[in-house]
Amino acid sequence: MGKFTIIKSCIKCHACTRIAEDNFIMEEHSAVIVKQPSVDYEYEECIAAMNACPIQAIKQE
Ligand code: SF4
């Protein structure tokens, strides 16, 4: 499983925090990754969050 990162200025659309709620939270200026996925369902949710981000700000290393 690759590590997920946020590489661009987030527009706070909340897509990732809704889709992968165990792994992404919204802070004042940006969504942040609070936990890398450690089980299959989290990994799948993080992939879905990455694909849903409207500005392609989420990347997997
Ligand atoms: S999906 Fe992308 S733009 Fe939307 S809150 Fe998450 S990182 Fe920010």
Give the chain's domains with CATH numbers. Answer: 4-60 (3.30.70.20)
**What whole-number distance in Å separates Cα of residue 13 and Cα of residue 1?**
25
Give residue-wise pLDDT tens across range 3-56: 999 999 999 999 999 999 999 999 999 999 999 999 999 999 999 999 999 999
pLDDT value at position 17? Answer: 98
Ligand 1 site, CB within 6 A: 6, 10-16, 31, 53, 55, 57-58
- Distance between Cα 3 and ligand 1 center (Å): 16
Please answer whether residues 57 and 12 qualify as being in contact, where contact means their C-beta atoms are separated by less than 8 angstroms.
no
CA dist 44 → 10, 31, 36, 38, 48 (Å): 21, 18, 12, 10, 6
Distance CA 35, CA 24 (A): 7
Tell me the C-alpha distance between 3 and 60, whole Å: 6
